[in-house]
Structure 1
Amino acid sequence: MKEKIICIFIVLFFIGAISNVHGADIVTNDQISLGNIAHSPPTFEPIINTERDETLSPLHKSDFGFLGIEFTGWTPPDPIIAAGPNHVVVMTNGAIGFFQKNGTKDFQDEIEDSFGFWGDQGATGFVFDPEVIYDPHTDRFMAMACERSSDSKSYFLLAVSDDSDPNGDWHKYRIDVTTEGGGGDIDSPNIAVDSEAVYLSADFFTGGQKYLVYILEKEPLLSGSIGITKSMLITGSQSFGIPVTYGSAPAMYMIEHFESSSNTVVRLHAITDPLSTPDRETYDLTVPAYSPPEDPPQKGTTTRPETFDSRFWSCVWRDGSLWATHHQGTSRVMARWYEIKTNNWPTSGTPELYQSGDIDPGEEIRTFFTSIAPDGYGNAAMCFARSSPDEYISIARCMRLADDPLGTMGPVVMVKESDGPYNSGRWGDYSGVSCDPSDNLTFWMMHEYTPGDGTWNTWISSCYGEFPNNPPETPTIDGPINGNAETAYNYTFNSIDPDEDDVYYYILWGDGYVENWVGPHPSGIDFEISHTYTKQGTFTIKAKSRDSNGYESGWASLNVTMPRNKIFRFNFGIIDFLNERFPYLFSIFRYILEFQ
């Protein structure tokens, strides 16, 4: 029997040699259909390129600006701005103006007297300290100022646009608050909104420091009438910051400063149930030490403008945070900013200081009369005056991006330089920053500068943050984990981008071959590709994704094994060939097998 087996192996070896010549093979299938498009073969690139393609960097645009309201004869100007979808509304002492965003002025009018913006409501000649906001809840502009009349009465002047275009009609009101405030000495007003009410506030002085908060039901104001009104008079303090709120806040917040030589607390106020029985709670929040502000020096004159105190000139509540700013510093005045997480207080939780910082350009530069606004993506911008013994008082700004280190702002940028010194003892008294509702990314700002002739002008400018970009999620990899070498297999990759950007895939097959940023492919849609391993063994497929802005995911991996066992398929066509060439071969087989 042993001899039979040896003889058969000799014959089979002879047949195998002939078969290799005539087509018996190891069957492979190196073809795959991807739609009807043939897959391009991978390139061999063992070195991984991890450098970011700067052509895919996030959006960043430069500033744009134009002349705003020019000198009205009032000093200081008290410039303020509100951005709507297609216009900005600006105000100063002595004027209100509507501008298109390309700088075209559509309208300007005085705010005082019988010939001015509130003339039909009976406004007199002493109208001052204007404020303007854009209400994100109703898409209306709201403008206000305070008035001290000749008969010793105090008024709030309020106007509400009929839609998001300021060039239409306005519903205007003149509200006597002499009784509510306790005197005819109204000063330093402010305006705030939430989803249901408009809040008008102001300082009063008769009988000591007082702060009035006058609350109006919003809905009737939109159509020309006054509905529910409530008021709160806080005694012993003044000049709170009160914000425009975006979204649904647990309360209307206010922020109060203190005036000791050194302070480490700000006081937060929360007004609840505003249109029924208004209630107010307070919370003392520890912050970095601050002190009353220095009156800043300027180039070319010994005149220093009055900075008053460390009141919060500007604040906004958005996405759970109260952003606020004031100027402080007895030895060198600097703008300071805060982001305070309100943490659903007073319903639950307590406020916390999330981050803060000073605007300190260095050396002897001062920053003051500051304003702040966040956008819809976590960026924030500030506008302020800056000066030093070697600088005229000019307009500057800075920004922080959502992913900047906590407590930091970007570089200070000069927006508009003055052309000379300013010899009035008043500058500001405030400024404005407003986030553009059309993209929730653009900041519009307005402040004062001097053309060098002893007067003031205002400058309107815009700057842009960056679209915050979320990287795509780590891709999934699906496909066979066992197979045969020299056989093509399909693998599917899928990565979801939170921003719905297109994605590209970088694939390491584990055998030295690389798919180098294949794409673009829609977010969340399967991408199928084939690969053939030419050798046996275990390999690790690794893949990551990158979005169209250049941000990358983490790595995914899948281990695959290509064992040594191969499928051997015999080409039976060789039988006919052998029978033709060797007609006695099969007789030999029978003889060997029958041999005893």
Structure 2
Amino acid sequence: MKTNTMRTTTLLAVTICLGATAACQPQRGVDARLLEPVVYGPEWPTGWTPATQQPRTEPLPEIRIDRHGDVAATTIEPIVVDTTAFPVQRQPNIPWTGPTTRPGKLLPPHGRDKTLAPGPLARLPLGTISEKVTVVPAPRFPGISSTPWTPPDPTLAVGPNHIVSTVNMAVAFYDKSGNEQFYANLDSTGSPGFFEEIGGGSFCFDPKCFYDHNEERFVIIALEYYTNESWITIAVSDDSDPNGVWYKYRTPSIISIEDATYWTDYPGLGFDHRVFTVTANLFQLGGSGPGFGGILYRTYNKAQMLVGGPVTFNDLTFGGGSAQCAVHHGQPVGPFFVSLDSQSSMRIQAIRNPIIQPELFTASVAVPSHGGAPPSAPNPGGNISALDGRLMNVYWRDGQLIFAHAIESDNVSEIRWYHIDTGDWPGDFGPAPAEPTLVQAGAIDLPGAQAGFYPAVAMNVFGDIGMVFGQCDASTNPSVRITGRTTADPPGEMGAPQIVVESPTGADGRWGDYFDMVIDPVDDTTFWYIGEWATGDGWQTWIGSFEITPPGCPGDTNGDGATNVADLLAVIAEW
């Protein structure tokens, strides 16, 4: 008895009642200037030579942006690679039991001020969790196991028949039953590595992936950093089957702003109906300290990449930090991005005209206040880092924007999630229309001193919201949990979290840094997730799916979601 009409009506009512309660301050940057485009052809060496592992002798050209608001356009040609021609389709994925390295240890000193100032007050109440079970888990399976790198940074992409998963620094393809079809290292340590044939060196870190349901393509990115070199490497499959041809682009990311030069770290990845989007934090190249330069926003013209042609991408910058790209269902005015603004507000951004003349718009939306970055999460193995409260995934569907993060609450890491109505903002042209508004917000306030961390959320075609997150406490090993809500639930409320896998041992140090969640493109309803748990051999990823329980039907006595003869027989049996 779940219907689109009922869901849409309920969501509209909630939006009308609550949507006008947030304070926004729209901003436009300095007048954007489209700088002279730069084109690199096949004669330009795109990276290390896989056969010799020797770096290029030519210096990597800089992408110059004179000031925040300017737009730099660059064109790069692809290399076409058929993964079915790899000598070894399923390279060994034996859990690594030796010492592990955090990718950040191989990067130069870098950092930024993450202090959040007090902000405006939201007038909406903060929802909580109920005792109602709202999720129906489906069969699940282990994904990629421990590599020499930690944390894994797991992401997944789900197509009609296949799943792609990435971790530091590997990629795997599965069918939906969990049967592995392909596995390779991302870097030049593979046989070959996934990005090795286009010049990828020995350090392809922070990978991410998604499935573009509009174009029926998988997309994978990874960053690279070497002395005086920085790259954003991106690959697009030629159809909905990841086994086969990929169009791969190694795009430079040495960014020059005014008198300083920067490299890229900590990417975001997203898409809408026109562009693939990447964000990254900028840190000064060759500097002795943090040298933070703001955020890079890169938009790739995906129509060019879908046919394996040369791609033109646009770069622009902003002075904030750690903006996350949205995955879009529908056709927004431009791609959306979200980042922390203050202890009680979120920075919502969108790029108008992302292909021809990109222009970045910014609004601040008030949310329920919080205590800032979360503390570490104690467990029997030590203390897990819950990171710093930044956002890890953002979902946009037909004007509704959802995202979540971990915050400090009574000295415990607690999850907050938000639902924002973007309306027609920022508009197709001229002054931006009405600003985004907060629809609802909720907390996953687990009992006692239980910590929640690394949430990922998604919204399906009915307006249901699903979530995956990590949990532990001083006496409980880390676990992966799921929860969700329907549009019929009270504003801000999530169902009782359910454990899908619990670690047999504790953990210490870096974890995550994020989990991931997406919607199955076949039915636009089922939620898929990936999370991390611990084994005696190190970290392990876990992949699964679930559905949201529909609202109860009158006369549904056996709780199967429908009223039928089975309910009558159940009543007779109890008579």
TM-score w.r.t. the length of structure 2 is 0.68
Question: Which aligned pairs between 1:90-101 and structure 2 lie closer than 5 A?
Answer: 90-101=165-176
In the alignment, what sits opposite 2:312? 228
In the alignment, what sits opposite 1:148? 225
Aligned residues of 1:291 and 1:329 also touching (Cα < 8 A): yes
Deviation at 1:119, TM superposition (A): 0.5
Say whether residues 1:159 and 2:235 are aligned partners. Answer: yes
In 2, Cα distance between equivalents of 1:155 and 1:362: 44
Question: Which aligned pairs between 1:315-464 and structure 2 lie closer than 5 A?
Answer: 315-329=394-408, 331-347=411-427, 348-423=433-508, 425-453=509-537, 455-464=538-547
In 2, Cα distance between equivalents of 1:394 and 1:109: 27
Identity of aligned residues (%): 31
In 2, Cα distance between equivalents of 1:173 and 1:60: 39
In 1, Cα distance between equivalents of 2:544 and 2:265: 28
Say whether residues 1:176 and 2:269 are aligned partners. Answer: no
Write the deviation string for residues 95-128 of structure 1: whole angstroms up to 9, x where unpaired.
Answer: 1111111111111110112631000111111111
Say whether residues 1:246 and 2:329 are aligned partners. Answer: yes
SS in 1 for 2:383: coil
In the alignment, what sits opposite 2:70? none
Write the deviation string for residues 361-412 of structure 1: whole angstroms up to 9, x where unpaired.
Answer: 2111110011111111111111111011111112111111222111011111
Deviation at 1:334, TM superposition (A): 1.1
AA of the residue aligned to 1:341: D
AA of the residue aligned to 1:433: M
Structure of greater Rg: 1
In 2, Cα distance between equivalents of 1:391 and 1:185: 40
In 2, Cα distance between equivalents of 1:401 and 1:217: 35
In 2, Cα distance between equivalents of 1:349 and 1:72: 48
In 2, Cα distance between equivalents of 1:194 and 1:469: 35
In the alignment, what sits opposite 1:528? none
SS in 1 for 2:140: strand
In the alignment, what sits opposite 2:7? none
In 2, Cα distance between equivalents of 1:396 and 1:293: 21
In the alignment, what sits opposite 1:42? none
Determine which of 349, 352, 360 is the counterpart of 1:272. 352
In 1, Cα distance between equivalents of 2:175 and 2:379: 34
Say whether residues 1:186 and 2:261 are aligned partners. Answer: no
Aligned residues of 1:299 and 1:390 also touching (Cα < 8 A): yes
Write the deviation string for residues 424-476 of structure 1: whole angstroms up to 9, x where unpaired.
Answer: x10000010011001111111111101134x11111111112467999xxxxx
Deviation at 1:184, TM superposition (A): 5.5
In the alignment, what sits opposite 2:138? 63
Deviation at 1:210, TM superposition (A): 1.4
Deviation at 1:73, TM superposition (A): 1.3
Determine which of 60, 77, 86 is the counterpart of 2:152. 77
Write the deviation string for residues 111-159 of structure 1: whole angstroms up to 9, x where unpaired.
Answer: 112631000111111111111111122111111111112x321101101
Aligned residues of 2:256 and 2:262 also touching (Cα < 8 A): no
TM-score w.r.t. the length of structure 1 is 0.66
SS in 1 for 2:299: strand
Are residues 238 and 470 of structure 1, via their aligned partners in 2, closer, same or farther at CA, if it must alter by over 3 Å?
farther
Write the deviation string for residues 147-193 of structure 1: whole angstroms up to 9, x where unpaired.
Answer: 112x3211011011111111121111111111368646421111111
Are residues 300 and 270 of structure 1, via their aligned partners in 2, closer, same or farther at CA, if it must alter by over 3 Å?
same
AA of the residue aligned to 2:363: Y
Question: Which aligned pairs between 1:29-40 and structure 2 lie closer than 5 A?
Answer: none
Aligned residues of 1:435 and 1:443 also touching (Cα < 8 A): yes
AA of the residue aligned to 1:232: L
AA of the residue aligned to 1:158: I
Say whether residues 1:295 and 2:378 are aligned partners. Answer: no
AA of the residue aligned to 2:211: Y
In 2, Cα distance between equivalents of 1:201 and 1:78: 16
SS in 2 for 1:221: helix
Gaps of 5+ in 2: 1-133, 285-290, 428-432, 556-560, 565-575
Determine which of 62, 66, 88 is the counterpart of 2:163. 88
Matched residues, number: 411
In the alignment, what sits opposite 1:138? 215
Deviation at 1:310, TM superposition (A): 1.7
AA of the residue aligned to 2:139: F
Aligned residues of 1:327 and 1:335 also touching (Cα < 8 A): yes
AA of the residue aligned to 1:317: W
Are residues 550 and 349 of structure 1, via their aligned partners in 2, closer, same or farther at CA, if it must alter by over 3 Å?
farther
In the alignment, what sits opposite 2:206? 129
In 2, Cα distance between equivalents of 1:463 and 1:296: 29
Are residues 223 and 469 of structure 1, via their aligned partners in 2, closer, same or farther at CA, if it must alter by over 3 Å?
farther
AA of the residue aligned to 1:334: E
In 1, Cα distance between equivalents of 2:333 and 2:552: 29
SS in 1 for 2:236: strand
In 1, Cα distance between equivalents of 2:553 and 2:354: 38
SS in 1 for 2:438: strand
In 2, Cα distance between equivalents of 1:335 and 1:353: 17
Aligned residues of 1:293 and 1:332 also touching (Cα < 8 A): no
SS in 2 for 1:220: helix
Aligned residues of 1:281 and 1:346 also touching (Cα < 8 A): yes
